[in-house]
Amino acid sequence: MRLYPLLFVTLLFSTTLLGQIKHGLRDERGRHLIPRGFVVNTNDHKGEVFFDADDYLRMVRLGANSQVIRLELGKLSSFPGGELDEQYLKKLDTLVDLGRNAGMKTIFKMTVYGVDSFVWEDFWQNKKEEYKTYIEAWGVIWKRYANEPSVLGYDIVNEPRKLNMDISYDDLTSTYLIPLYLKIIDACHAINPNKKILIQSIFMNKGEAIDNNQYAEVKTSINRENLIFAPHIYQDKIDFIKPVMNRFDKESDLLNAPILIGEWGFPTFASTDTLMSGELGQLKFRELYIRTAEVFDQMGVGSIKAWFLGNRTMQNFLPGGPSTWAIFSDKRDAGTVERKYITDIIARPYPQNIAGDIQSFIFNHATRTLDVNITPDNKKGPSTLFVGANRHYPDGFSMLIENDIILYHNPIKNTGLEVYKCPKDFDPQNVVWKPITQKLIVLRWPKGKEELNIKIVPGIWDFEEPTDEK
């Protein structure tokens, strides 16, 4: 028996238990769910954006099990310049269908695009019953998808603003934002009582960030069920990532709502695609994204990356010049040419949904090791781990369950998983490799184990046939 060197290195790597994570959600079978995916735009600055089943398969192979569809207020409401667009609703139906068929949950996020103008100061004053018009726009979506199980929930107000109002962020939050949230939540739950409601905090004016956090702190609780706290983090200073997330964790406790990062990932610049090092170079972005990913995984939070788009347009509001959130560098709407210096971090291995409880998980980018600790519960059905072997393990990978079970995948062979080590009371066919979706499906965990450690490590177990040579 020979163990390839990469595997030997990773066997020496271990992860300290971090305590049971609190931020994962539960799916319809009660499995511990870590949502990951992309913001899916219905348009950009150059017009409408369209996706097909192949695009959704690409999302899945990037680790997505969720999508956030960005709604346009102008196509759902009677705000000035807007009207209900039936063709737009059919387009949304198609995106939901594509997501469901790809095994993804859908969240809708309302933006204020598509109307003649949207003035936040006027909106908060509600003098023309703007709240009622806004809730009616949401009502179209709530009624349409009330009985669609793949629709997880609704991100009800995207990046609310203060702008020129003479009011503190705390007062704006407690006097206007939270009461509006209560109105929207109650209206939604009258139609969709089991859907999740995603809430954000006030997006602060430029130059008014606190400790490099652009989002005002929520200090008022919301006494409602089925809430998810969905803050955004576009942090470009690596030392502030953990403090910002610690503050979000504090707000999560106040709201009694798990965290799902609604958007993340500092935008890349036009120069970054060709610049390897330096302040705007690819190595800097890799370091920044890896640290962000580590903090997310240590906390056990799901995360949604903006955007699953090609580079049709760029924005020019940062000192580094034209920039974009698009993860592809070509000019197509969906895009095909990955910015791999960020997509390889976005598409890192992780436990997608686990029958039982996830105690901790972490992917070590240096050793390419996924380390997961769980308490299993086979009554809740199969479990899924995203591996991303096509990008992270082109040399093959091995799966270790408590070191009692060792299975491996050799990419050179046209087979699934092979067995190196397995006890008699466990059927190795309980673990299935799905190369199309890049996932491991565990039909049943080993019996009699209250806790399990699972590792995915690079390299494959190899066998040397004995010879008679002296």
8 and 149 belong to one structural domain: no
CATH of residue 379's domain is 2.60.40.1180
Query: Which residues neighbour 426 within 8 Å (Cβ) at sequence distance 6 or greater?
Result: 404, 405, 446, 447
| Lowest-pLDDT choice from 354-363, 371-380, 410-419, 459-468 | 459-468
Residue 18 above 70 pLDDT?
A: no
Q: pLDDT per residue over 328-372, tens digit each?
A: 999 998 999 999 999 999 999 999 999 999 999 999 999 999 999
312 and 424 belong to one structural domain: no
Domain stop point among 352, 377, 404 = 352
134 and 6 belong to one structural domain: no
| Lowest-pLDDT choice from 12-21, 133-142, 307-316, 439-448 | 12-21
Q: What separation in angstroms does the CA of 147 have from each of 29, 193, 195?
A: 17, 11, 10
Among 238, 242, 231, 229, which residue's Cα sits nearest to residue 264?
A: 231
Residue 119 above 50 pLDDT?
A: yes
pLDDT, position 21: 83
Cβ atoms of 223 and 251 within 8 Å: the answer is no
317 and 382 belong to one structural domain: no
pLDDT, position 16: 36
The answer to whether residue 249 is domain-embedded is yes
pLDDT, position 12: 29
Q: pLDDT per residue over 20-57, tens digit each?
A: 688 879 999 999 999 999 999 999 888 999 999 999 99
pLDDT, position 462: 57
Q: For residues 16 and 24, what is the distance between their CA atoms, to the nearest angstrom?
A: 19
Q: For residues 36 and 58, what is the distance between their CA atoms, to the nearest angstrom?
A: 14
343 and 455 belong to one structural domain: no
CATH of residue 182's domain is 3.20.20.80
Q: Which residues pair with 213 in a beta bridge?
A: 210
Neighbours of 243 (CB within 10 A): 14
Q: For residues 26 and 220, what is the distance between their CA atoms, to the nearest angstrom?
A: 25
Do the bridges between strand 397-401 and strand 452-458 make them parallel or antiparallel, or are there none, so unpaired? antiparallel
Q: Which residues pair with 151 in a beta bridge?
A: 106
Q: pLDDT per residue over 77-96, tens digit each?
A: 999 999 999 999 999 999 99
Cα angle 134-139-145, degrees, rounded to a multiple of 5? 140
101 and 150 belong to one structural domain: yes
Among 11, 18, 97, which residue's Cα sits nearest to residue 53?
A: 97
Among 438, 455, 292, which residue's Cα sits nearest to residue 370?
A: 455
The more confident residue out of 138 and 278 is: 138
Q: For residues 409 and 395, what is the distance between their CA atoms, to the nearest angstrom?
A: 9
pLDDT, position 173: 97
Domain stop point among 337, 352, 367 = 352
Residue 158 above 50 pLDDT?
A: yes
Q: What number is the average pLDDT over the span 417-438?
A: 97
421 and 340 belong to one structural domain: no
Residue 5 above 70 pLDDT?
A: no
pLDDT, position 1: 34
The more confident residue out of 298 and 1 is: 298
In which order are the strands placed within the sheet that holds 25-26?
A: 25-26, 32-33, 350-354, 383-386, 439-442, 431-434
Signed CA dihedral, 432, 435, 436, 437: sign only:
positive
The overall average pLDDT reported for the chain is 92
Percent of the chain with pLDDT over 90: 87
Domain that holds residue 190: 33-352
User: What residue type is assigned to position 134 of the chain?
Assistant: Y
Q: How confident is the model at residue 448 (pLDDT cuts 50, 70, 90)?
A: confident
Domain stop point among 309, 328, 352 = 352
Q: Which residues pair with 360 in a beta bridge?
A: 373
Tell me the residue ranges of DSSP E strands in 254-404.
Answer: 260-264, 268-269, 302-305, 323-324, 350-354, 356-364, 369-376, 383-386, 397-401
Q: Which residue has the tokens 């197509």?
A: 332
Q: What number is the average pLDDT over the span 172-201?
A: 97
Q: How confident is the model at residue 461 (pLDDT cuts 50, 70, 90)?
A: low
Q: How confident is the model at residue 17 (pLDDT cuts 50, 70, 90)?
A: very low
Q: What number is the average pLDDT over the span 401-406?
A: 94
Residues found in the chain: 470
